[in-house]
């Protein structure tokens, strides 16, 4: 992210009224490697050079878009579960998968906090950023975000999603203890990223499992832990991604210190605005798969135009995007159409 883009994002988060929309997209391994036409998903994960070139190509091809978090060093959903000992399964053209530590248990796991500096894939994530930083900054960009999967997301990978959701109900005390260990680990991980790369002034947490539970469970099992992680470092942008059901968590986000929310396309942006309140900026929300990836340019154009109409052309605390991250197979033409209709190019 360039300094100009970062300043624009800060302005949106602070509620500065913009004359034209800011456009940004979560870009990572589902979209970047095979969009380049030269690499498989496995190439992207296994080669620092392939990873860097894919990210550079994106920012060069679409200089009017902000890619979030920007030069994301990640291994799909495997990064944090690997620190706890999950078995990782890799594929050439599909995303990797972290297998549960146990199968079939609906009792919360008793965990030991891993060392964020030395466990699993975490050292490789951080070393990739350190080694790539000179090339990133030579391009006029900087690394702005510490990034992690959220505590409920990680717990669901360690146990299995159904088993974790059951554990919340039948073993709440054990579940809180498990989430406490995961959260302490994530606090360490966020601090380590920020301490290693001083340009980091934002925190991005991604946790779709928050969208699987009701408001009471969100208040008990999600928000206290998210609040701790966002509070682990001093940051200007506290960005939360949940593109599952967002209705239960939306009214509670501001209380956790979150000031930017990427939500699912099923929720109209005006409805989400009323739920999150005036302090939280929104990033969304045309359908990522059915419109941005599989739709025609005219469908993309219509989706962006509808967002502008609903907002009444008031783009305060809004980043135009899709309702989730960029999925596989989003064509360049559709992204260009999005940016053109938004009014940031052309």
> Could you give the 3-state DSSP secondary structure of residue 235?
coil
pTM (2 d.p.)? 0.97
pLDDT of residue 103: 87
The predicted-structure confidence for 6-26, as pLDDT tens digits, reads as follows: 999 999 999 998 888 999 999
Q: Which domain holds residue 62?
A: 3-342
Residue (of 225, 257, 221, 252) closest to 239 by Cα position: 257
pLDDT tens per residue, range 218-266 = 999 999 999 999 999 999 999 999 999 999 999 999 999 999 999 999 9
**How many structural domains comprise the chain?**
1
Residue 326 vs residues 18, 80, 128, 346: alpha-carbon distances, Å:
24, 21, 22, 22
Angle (CA) 258-241-149 rounded to 5° is 100
- Give the span between the Cα atoms of 327 and 139, in whole angstroms: 25
Query: What's the pLDDT score for residue 346?
Result: 64
Considering only CA atoms, which of 7, 31, 9 is closest in space to residue 288?
A: 31
DSSP H or E segment with residue 146 = strand 145-149
Identify which of 42, 33, 11, 52 has the alpha carbon closest to the alpha carbon of residue 236. Answer: 11
pLDDT of 19: 83
Is the distance from CB of 260 to CB of 10 less than 8 angstroms?
no
Sign of the Cα pseudo-torsion (194, 175, 164, 157, in order): positive
Pairing between strand 202-206 and 145-149? parallel
Q: The tokens of 301 are what?
A: 């154009």
Secondary structure of residue 216 in the 3-state scheme? helix
Query: For residue 301, is it left (φ>0), alpha (ψ between -120 and 50) or beta?
Result: alpha
DSSP annotation string for 68-124: ESSS---BTBTHHHHHTTPPEE--SSS--EEPPSSSS--S--------TTTSTTHHH
Long-range contacts, 52-57 (Cβ 8 Å, 24+): 52/132, 52/135, 52/136, 55/27, 55/136, 56/135, 56/139
Kindly write down the DSSP assignment for every residue of 26-77, as one continuous string.
E-STTTHHHHTTS--HHHHHH-HHHHHHHHHHHHHH-TTSEEESSS---BTB
Q: How many helices (H) and strands (E) are present in the chain, helices listed first?
A: 14, 10
pLDDT at 18: 84
In this prediction, residue 334 carries a pLDDT of: 98
CATH number at residue 136: 3.20.20.210
Beta bridge partners of 180: none
CB atoms within 10 A of CB 15: 12
Can you say whether the dihedral through the CA atoms of 171, 176, 181, 185 is positive or negative? positive
8-state DSSP, 321:
E
- Tens-level pLDDT at each residue, the chain (346 residues): 999 999 999 999 999 988 889 999 999 999 999 999 989 999 999 999 999 999 999 999 999 999 999 999 999 999 999 999 999 999 999 999 999 999 888 999 999 999 999 999 999 999 999 999 999 999 999 999 999 999 999 999 999 999 999 999 999 999 999 999 999 999 999 999 999 999 999 999 999 999 999 999 999 999 999 999 999 999 999 999 999 999 999 999 999 999 999 999 999 999 999 999 999 999 999 999 999 999 999 999 999 999 999 998 889 999 999 999 999 999 999 999 999 999 998 6
- Joined together, the tokens standing for residue 328 give 């596989």
């Amino acid at each position: 992210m360039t300094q100009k883009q970062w300043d624009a994002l800060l302005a949106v988060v602070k509620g500065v009224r913009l004359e034209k929309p800011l456009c940004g997209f979560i870009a990572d391994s589902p979209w970047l490697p095979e969009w380049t036409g030269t690499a498989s998903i496995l190439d992207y994960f296994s080669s620092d050079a392939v990873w860097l070139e894919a990210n550079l190509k994106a920012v060069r091809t679409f200089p009017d878009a902000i890619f979030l978090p920007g030069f994301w060093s990640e291994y799909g959903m495997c990064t944090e579960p690997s620190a706890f000992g999950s078995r990782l399964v890799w594929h050439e053209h599909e995303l990797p998968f972290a297998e549960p530590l146990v199968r079939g248990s609906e009792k919360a796991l008793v965990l030991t906090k891993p060392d964020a500096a030395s466990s699993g894939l975490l050292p490789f994530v951080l070393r990739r950023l350190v080694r790539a930083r000179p090339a990133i900054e030579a391009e006029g960009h900087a690394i702005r975000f510490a990034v992690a999967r959220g505590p409920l997301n990680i717990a669901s990978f360690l146990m299995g999603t159904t088993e974790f959701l059951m554990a919340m109900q039948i073993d709440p005390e054990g579940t809180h203890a498990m989430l406490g260990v995961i959260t302490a680990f994530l606090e360490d991980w966020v601090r380590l990223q920020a301490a290693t790369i001083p340009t980091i002034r934002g925190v991005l947490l991604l946790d779709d499992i928050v969208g699987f539970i009701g408001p009471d469970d969100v208040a008990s099992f999600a928000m206290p832990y998210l609040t701790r992680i966002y509070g682990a470092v001093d940051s200007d942008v506290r960005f939360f991604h949940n593109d599952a059901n967002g209705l239960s968590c939306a009214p509670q986000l501001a209380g956790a210190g979150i000031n930017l929310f990427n939500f699912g396309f099923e929720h109209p942006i005006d409805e989400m605005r009323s739920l999150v309140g005036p302090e939280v900026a929104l990033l969304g929300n045309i359908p990522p798969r059915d419109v941005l990836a599989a739709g025609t340019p005219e469908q993309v154009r219509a989706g962006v135009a509808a967002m502008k109409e609903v907002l009444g052309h008031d783009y305060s605390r809004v980043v135009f995007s899709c309702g989730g991250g960029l999925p596989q197979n989003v064509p360049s033409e559709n992204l260009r159409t999005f940016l053109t209709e938004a009014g940031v190019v052309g």
